[in-house]
Structure 1
């Protein structure tokens, strides 16, 4: 009876963990540049005190993310850009360089190009991108940034830098707690001249809302099944105890 309860309780715990991951994906359906988080179950041997294996448990893992392209939505905003195909924007964080697909940029009070979270966007030379005061910005397909200052002659447009666009192998990318990606090992990725972007567009989340909803419903049913097994095991134990009772 103990084995039944142990197995069902372990299964219910794994279902709840997977449900949390799916719920997080569902909550980010509208998040620009979000990458769907994957979840799998794997077995883990349980080792007793003397070092001998006793039984096998299981854990839920998030081995990576689905890197497929999200939907491209035209915004018409000069500071918006979306990467087409593989690649990442580079940003500066307190923990070092990180990478994102979210191209909804803005200009902060220090005239730096930043993300919606206020993180400086990096240029190809690894420095923050400085925008002329009240200047209008234009991106090109290879990430070059041109700006025209307020009141300047349209012919005086100047090239102020180039975005650092990178494309490290997907298997080397690790998602952080802040939702940004970093290269495993902590080193900075090299700029890739083959990465291309589309100005005036943003890339939406690559989470399929319908599939996420179906997954949540399926997990709810699996959890109910595990709870039913535990209830049945408890009822069977009570019946067995009543039969063995001498009173």
Structure 2
């Protein structure tokens, strides 16, 4: 009976963990550039020394991230860009290291630094991109950032920098807890000149809301089943104790 209790206890715990993963996906269904996380469960043996496992427990894990591109949403805004097909935008994370994202709704802060909507600096050819005082900013398909300097005519555009665009192999990257994508070996991805962006668009989340909602409901039912199993084990234990006391 203690084995059944152990399985149902760990199952209930990991049902809650899986629910958290799917709920997070569901909560980010409208987040620009969000990549959904997968969640899976499996049984694991408990070993004490050599020999066969004495117990088995349930384990929920996040094996991978869904890197399928999301839908392109037209905004018409000059500072909005979306990766066309595969590829990533290089940004500087909170620790000052290079990381990657698909978030393309950009803005310029008070110091002239080009940033994502989450406040991360966009990396160019030599570090974070700095924009001089301007009347208009334009971003081309290859990521070149040009500005119309204050006082100049619309025909006089100055090239400021070029956004670093990369396309690493999906098997070599992973999404961190901060939502940013990095190489698994901690390296830096090289520039890929074949990656292009669509100006005036942003990429929506790739979350399938129907699937995520169904998974949350299914996990909720499984959690209830695990609790009923624990109650059954408790009743069986009480019955066994009564039988032993009568003998």
Place the TM-score, normalised by the shorter chain, in its bin: over 0.9
Q: CA deviation at 1:10?
A: 1.8
- Counterparts in 2 of 1:56 and 1:240: CA distance versus 1, 3 Å: closer
**Equivalent position of 1:129 in the other structure:** 129
Partner of 1:29: 29
Matched, 1:54 2:54: yes
Map of 2:118 onto structure 1: 117
Instruction: Give the conservation status (yes or no) of the 8 Å contact 2:91–2:101.
Output: yes
Change (3 A) 1:188 1:151: same
Question: Structure 1: 5+ residue runs without aligned partners?
Answer: none
Shift of 1:51: 5.2
2:97 is matched with which residue? 96
**2:158 — aligned with what?**
158
Hey, what's the Cα distance between the residues in 2 that align with 1:136 and 1:223? Answer: 55
Q: Which residue of 2 aligns with 1:216?
A: 216
Alignment of 1:1-247 (within 5 A): 1-48=1-48, 50=49, 53-93=53-93, 94-123=95-124, 125-246=125-246
Distance 1:24 1:130 in 2: 34
Aligned partners of 2:3 and 2:55 also within 8 Å: no
Structure 1 vs Structure 2 CA RMSD: 1.6
Q: Residue deviations 1:1-51, cap 9 Å, x none?
A: 111111111211221111110011111111110000011223433222x45
Is the 1:107–1:113 Cα contact (8 Å) retained in structure 2?
Answer: yes
Q: Secondary structure at the match of 1:8?
A: helix
Report the CA distance between 1:246 and its aligned residue.
2.9
Q: Secondary structure at the match of 1:156?
A: coil
CA contact (8 A) 1:126 1:164 kept: no
State whether residues 46 and 54 of structure 1, in contact with CA within 8 Å, keep that contact through their aligned partners in structure 2: yes
Kindly provide the CA deviation profile for residues 123-178 of structure 1, in whole angstroms up to 9, marking residues without a partner as x. Answer: 1x241112121331111111111111223111111122211000101111121221
Structure 2 stretches lacking a partner, 5+ long: none
Count of aligned pairs between the two proteins: 245
